[in-house]
Amino acid sequence: MLSLDTLDITDEAAYAANGYPYPEWELLRREAPMFWYVRPGFEPFWVVTRHADIASISRHTKLFSSAQRVTIFTPEAVEMLEVELEQRAQMFGHDPADPSVLPVMDSPRHRHLRKVLAPCFTPKAVSELEDRFAELAATYVKEFTDRIDEHGSADVAKYLAARLPVAAICELLNAPVEDWDDLFNWTQGMTAAADPEFWLEGEDAEAAFRRNIGALNQYVATLIQRRMAEGDPNGTDVLSRLATGVVEGRPLEFHEILYTVHNLLVAGISTTRNATAGGIQALLEHPEQLRMLVEDPGLVDRAAEEILRWTTIAVSAVRTCTEDTEIGGQRIRKGETLAMWFPAGNRDGEVFDDPYRFDITRTVNPHVAFGGQGEHVCIGSHLARLELRALLRAVLPVLPELEIERSPDLGVLHLQVAELKRLFVRRKKK
């Protein structure tokens, strides 16, 4: 019987087998919305499941720091990460404790770096990509349906949902088109190194990680060095802005630009890819919603928001309390860790009407799919929305002809990001 004493929300194998642990999160939200979680293999932390508490913690960035840690790591993962940070620091000559990317920075450094990047990710800036994305999405859908017709089925995650996110980030980096597939493969191989599917013969997780990060490092380093040599203050792509940007009164160093580009590649490709694949799965599993969308494509914007809420690819994020405080009536002490569970917040019945219903007509939808609120909300949220809407519009005419061929294959990486590794679809039999 499920109880606070026996529930387990940190077993990645259970996520893969059963999906998100909504019954456990529901029990926590009802009986212990701030729950001190003590389980073997993890340092104790507060589980945060209510939408209001997630919003409050994510807004108050001085009180809840991102600099110490943002992920619930197992000891094995911590060891691998620490080795990597030490090696990076030795390679580039900096302190391994220095915050490397936006998600693990506190302000003022976070605010300054975000200011450098922000002009590339504003609603106005990304809207200029709308026609290009529509063109690319149409091409990708045509290639995908051709693949189904040739092979009998095709993997949405690999051959459709991944294409536009890769193109979007590569467009922002001004990377050559012929390199896009390599960038995707290296990024996926690095983030999913624990999955044997991404190992070459004789490799283990650590070897796969090092091979992919090495290839990615080498490629991105070449792009960065080129932009830094150009030093164009009028450049509008992400790399040009980083190469000429000033953070806390000084230009960014090479390694800081490299880490930032890594973060954009990993976050920008994996999250949108998985939300898109999950959205297609949701529409195919809810034919009445798909029919409604086909009959009224004007619902695409609402459908995209509901897909973001429904899939909630960002699973959790960790913060460290910087002084004694209180959240949701619970005393939290300085130095204690809190883990916000975004899918739980997006099923909170106090905020969402009928939260376990997939409803593309939902008008009140203040989801926390992009990491809650405040300055750490995903900088690429507008870009991700544009990609998702473009792909939905392009694939909508053919979706009613398709069906899921086999059970989707879900994975969760470090309890941080969900990955729909495979979603095979085929044409319906006439």
Say which residue the tokens 């915050």 belong to.
Answer: 99
Q: What is the rounded average pLDDT of the residues 67-93?
A: 78
Could you give the CA distance from residue 419 to residue 125 in angstroms, rounded to a whole number?
A: 28
Report the predicted TM-score, pTM, of the whole model to 2 decimal places.
0.92
Which of 100-109, 133-142, 212-221, 408-417: highest mean pLDDT?
Answer: 133-142
pLDDT score, position 165: 92
Backbone dihedral region of 331: left (phi > 0), alpha (psi from -120 to 50 degrees) or beta?
beta
Domain 96-311+348-427 has CATH 1.10.3720.10: no
* Residues forming beta bridges with residue 417, ordered by sequence position: 314, 413
| Residue extents of the structural domains in the chain | 96-311+348-427
What 71-77 contacts at long range (C-beta under 8 Å, 24+ apart), as own/partner pairs, is 71/316, 71/317, 71/318, 71/414, 71/415, 71/416, 72/10, 72/42, 72/45, 72/316, 72/318, 72/339, 72/414, 72/415, 72/416, 73/414, 74/41, 74/42, 74/414, 75/41, 77/414
Q: What is the rounded average pLDDT of the residues 290-299?
A: 97
If we measure between CA atoms, which residue out of 405, 392, 391, 335 comes closest to residue 166? 391
DSSP character for 428?
P
pLDDT score, position 133: 96
pLDDT band at 346 (very low <50, low <70, confident <90, very high): very high
pLDDT score, position 90: 82
Q: What is the rounded average pLDDT of the residues 150-177?
A: 92
**pLDDT tens digits along 99-115:** 778 999 999 999 999 99
pLDDT score, position 122: 95
